[in-house]
Amino acid sequence: MTESKSMILGCAGKTLTQDEIRFYGDERPWGFILFARNVGEPEQIRDLVASMRESVGRPDAPVFIDQEGGRVQRLRPPLAPNYPAGAAIGDLYRKDREAGLRAAWLLSRLHAFDLLNLGVTADCLPVLDVPIEGASDVIGSRAYGKDPETVATLGKAAAEGLLAGGVLPVMKHVPGHGRAFSDSHLELPTVTTPIEELRAHDFAPFKALNHLPAAMTAHVVYAAIDPNGPATTSAKVIKDVVRGEIGFDGLLISDDTSMKALSGDFPSKAASILAAGCDLVLHCNGVMEEMAGIASRTTALEGKSLERAERALTYINQRDAADEAAVRAEFATYFEAAA
């Protein structure tokens, strides 16, 4: 089998162009990611996913999506119901802990049904960021709550629901985006909070769930750890905090390199991300020129990174025998998801 490169790429539209097919075949991304622009009818999505895998000659190439519920949900009716956001699950949990936990698990189990039906095998969920008052709304209602215990507890249930359904969970955004006062899609946030407070609040949910197979970084500067660069490109944050204090030894994926928070051209972004200790470079917008830049400095997936990637794939398609109609009916007793 041809070795893969340490990157996950998007595509421009609802079908692959001949240029994209050639590019993926030559550059061999380890995985792919879908966005709303790629999503149409069920058969179209299945065909797109199949053609992505065919382009790299790997039937097990993972295909990722952001399917949280609330405002971050790429599959919408009629492909999937409009599901509640993390904050709504958190509200239920604060009223009735058992109900909130069960609803978090059920929602993720439903995501797994929805995604695997289309050939999508990884969901960028759970969101483990813990927002503070006044922070940017980029996380906002996506978070389960404003305390680490609620976030960790519901995040664990959400991850377990995906795993039960044979879908790879990707926790985000390590080591925590909840304190950022700006949107990293648009600019680079800097957090000046002392490290002791970060440990107790921001890092805690990730540490509690450090056994999960995959995580996505935060494009956030933590001045108390490394004032010179965001977590995504900081060897100090990744080595000392993500791998060290938090104790995460799973597959570490950068957040999207096409976000405005990262400076420099695309070749230098890719090189910096891998040099810092991320296992995979993520590029989402499907712009060919940018993808070519990423590919030009992305190396073969090998060594410890390859081990982590292969281990992550073992979580896919190991699913339970849950009945979809029964899961939907039970979830509806907590939330009336709009069809």
Strand positions, DSSP E, the chain = 5-9, 29-34, 63-65, 67-69, 72-73, 122-123, 168-169, 171-174, 190-191, 214-217, 221-222, 251-253, 281-283
Query: What is the phi/psi pair of residue 30, to 5°?
Result: -70, -35
Structure tokens belonging to residue 282? 């993520």
Cα–Cα distance between 127 and 132 in angstroms, integer?
A: 15
Task: Say if residue 18 is exposed, middle or buried (CB neighbours under 10 Å; 0-12, 13-18, 19+).
Answer: exposed
CA angle 297, 253, 182 (to 5 degrees): 100
Catalytic residue IDs: 185, 255
Q: Among 196, 250, 253, which residue's Cα sits nearest to residue 222?
A: 196
